[in-house]
Amino acid sequence: MKFATFAERAAEIDAESADLEIVECVTDLLVDAGDEIEVIARFVQGRVFPAWDSTTLDVGPSACYEAIARAAGTNVDADDVEDRLAEIGEIGEVAASYEFGGQQGLGAFTGGSGGDDLTVREVHETLTDLAATEGSGSQDRKVDLLFGLFNRCASEEARYLARLVLSEMRIGVGEGAVRDAIADAFDLPDDRVERALQVSNDYGRIARVAREEGLEGLDAVDLELGRPVQAMLAQAGTVTDVLEEWAEAAVEWKFDGARIQLHHDPDGLEHDPGAIGVSSDARPDDSRATTRAFSRNMEDVTDALPEVVEFAEETLEEPVILDGEVVAVDDAGEPLPFQEVLKRFRRKHDVEKAREDVAVRPVFFDCLHADGEDLLEEPVVDRHDRLESVLRARVGNDVGPEDVDGLSLLWITDDAGQIESIDADALEAGHEGIMLKDPESAYTPGRRGKNWRKRKPDVETLDCVVTGAEWGEGRRATFLGTFELSVRDGDTLETVGKVATGITDEKLAELTDLLEPHVAAEDGQEVTLEPAVVFEVGYEEIQTSPTYSSGYALRFPRFVGVRHDKSPDDAETLERLESLRSS
């Protein structure tokens, strides 16, 4: 297809505002796409490369302005282009406003090939070359390549080329529109197209498969080792809600880390996107990497995370795709905040040095593929079983699940109390809280569905007076814990719950020192305290309850901190509790 034709079609789509009409235009475009259907299915979304591919053009706006200026003719420079952009506001419009083509090519003088129209294929090939250009002077070379394209553009072509290059296509075509268009163009069911897109993450390829191999071809599309799929995402949710919706909940710790998708094949990955610009098919098998790690945005982060590669080499024996988190840990193996992980994640240079400063370790909670078998459709519990067996390859079955390196534990329960205690343990271990999953649900890449919930963070916190506590047991025998919380009702204090979670041993010791002088009475482990100290506590919701004297209970209360600046007279009132509950 001529690039001019594509530009014309893009302009038609640009002019449509209704979703249905847009899908219709894209459908027609795909039907007419001919041999360049892969490229066209991506270009129309403003993409140059498939979503699984980490390759980027790496062209800054200034390089693009420079190329436009050079192609624009006599004495136009990048500043002029920028001035015009400031005036007009959109790069496509700016590019379309110049007259290109002043520079002739040598081809025009060799006879034959000179003066041909630019094709979609040529644009794609040139942009692929451009992406592969690296090293010193590469920005100049990128400008040269772009200049070569702009120089051959008429104004509509230039408009969409500029937008494509700067990732500002914005003609209203999203992934959904292309999915629907593929289904309509080749008369295939939406859900099967959707599935193929999810596992392949490649709109171009699926458009071709849909056209040439139909339903059978679509259904045969599998996950491929070395090509990332989009991560399944979670919604916010509450324990109460999920226990109402599902018979049981699968509960996991929510790690304060960065999401990774690990692809590993002991015999070398089928696709090795590590070497950009070099087709993996063109390279000998033994040079293919065995492990690749991708971020949530499907960027290749393998090189930044040597620990993950080592983990895979040391632990795994079969081809797998695993979903998990990398967490930063201190020397004692305790988790460090998320920011520390990020320091490692985008690291390109001095990785070894960074590794000395902050070590990371992977924890996996899902298994998408194992030993030739795609598991996306399997329920959470079965995928987790498979995950455990994959991670047990070297340690065998003699150790408990908690001793399987890299395994995130999973509990199946319908007991809110147990969920609460799992949450407490997670927080105590320094993690973020818990994830709740429907045990029967499949893995749906890229979807923020209802099947995964992260426990909603505290909506608000309350400042409550501590009116009682219990002496701990075992190693915590000398600490006060399980603090009774109260709110003011006129001159009296009424209880609203007990907080025992979210507190480290160190903190417990500190709180004991703070509260012990205020002990009014003791009865076995039970301690009554004079109202003196105010805690800030988070909670999931406020419920009516016969258990506490206020008539209300805080659901899943957690300790946030001591309000040293507040006295019991400044604590929350029952009235406010009631108003929070009704809001």
Partner 1 sequence: MFKAIVSAETLTSALDSVSVLVDECKIHLEEDGLEIRAVDPANVGMVDLSLDAAAFESYEADGGLIGVDLSRLEDIAGMAESGQLIQLELDEETRKLHIQIDGLEYTLALIDPDSIRQEPDIPDLDLPAEVILEGKDVNRSVTAADMVSDHIALGVDEGEEFFYVDAEGDTDDVHLELTQEDLIDLQLGPAHSLFSLDYLKDMNKAIPSDTEVTLDLGEEFPVKIYFGFGEGQGQVTYMLAPRIQSD
List active site positions: 254
- 252 annotated as belonging to a binding site for a ligand: yes
Sequence-distant contacts of 545-548: CB under 8 A, at least 24 apart = 548/494, 548/495, 548/496, 548/497
What is the sign of the dihedral through the CA atoms of 389, 421, 427 and 510? negative
- For residue 425, the minimal CB distance to partner 1 (Å) is 53
Q: Identify which of residues 75 and 492 has a Cβ nearer to partner 1 in the complex.
A: 75
Q: Identify which of residues 108 and 521 has a Cβ nearer to partner 1 in the complex.
A: 108
Return residues touching partner 1 (CB under 8 A).
Answer: 70, 73-77, 101-110, 126, 129, 133, 135-138, 141, 144-145, 147-148, 151
- For residue 141, the minimal CB distance to partner 1 (Å) is 6
Structural contact between residues 298 and 51, judged by C-beta atoms closer than 8 angstroms: yes
CA dist., res. 62 & res. 78, Å (int):
7
- For residue 112, the minimal CB distance to partner 1 (Å) is 9
Q: Identify which of residues 136 and 583 has a Cβ nearer to partner 1 in the complex.
A: 136
Structural contact between residues 544 and 552, judged by C-beta atoms closer than 8 angstroms: yes
- For residue 147, the minimal CB distance to partner 1 (Å) is 6
Residue-by-residue DSSP string for 130-175 = HHH--STTHHHHHHHHHHHHHTT--HHHHHHHHHHHTT---SS--H
- 365 annotated as belonging to a binding site for a ligand: yes
- For residue 98, the minimal CB distance to partner 1 (Å) is 13
Kindly report the length of the chain: 583
Q: Which residues of 239-264 are buried (b: 16+ CB within 10 A; e: fewer)?
A: bebbbeebebbbbbbbbbbbbbbbbb
Helix axes 61-72, 138-150, angle to 10 degrees: 50
Structure tokens at 417: 């109390």
Amino acid at 315: T
Strand stretches in 167-281, DSSP E: 233-237, 249-254, 258-264
Q: Identify which of residues 70 and 431 has a Cβ nearer to partner 1 in the complex.
A: 70
- 454 annotated as belonging to a binding site for a ligand: yes
- For residue 95, the minimal CB distance to partner 1 (Å) is 16
- For residue 145, the minimal CB distance to partner 1 (Å) is 4
Residues 6+ positions from 491 with CB-CB distance below 8 Å: none
Q: Identify which of residues 121 and 563 has a Cβ nearer to partner 1 in the complex.
A: 121
- 2 annotated as belonging to a binding site for a ligand: no
Q: Identify which of residues 60 and 277 has a Cβ nearer to partner 1 in the complex.
A: 277
Pairing, β 448-455 against β 233-237: parallel
- 122 annotated as belonging to a binding site for a ligand: no
**Residue 371 dihedral angles phi and psi, to the nearest 5°:** 50, 55
Q: Which residue has the tokens 């004297």?
A: 549
Structure tokens at 377: 């459709």
Residues 6+ positions from 325 with CB-CB distance below 8 Å: 255, 257, 258, 259, 260, 362, 363, 365, 408
Q: Identify which of residues 138 and 528 has a Cβ nearer to partner 1 in the complex.
A: 138
Known binding site: residues?
252, 259, 296, 325, 365, 448, 454
Known binding site for ATP: residues?
252, 259, 296, 325, 365, 448, 454
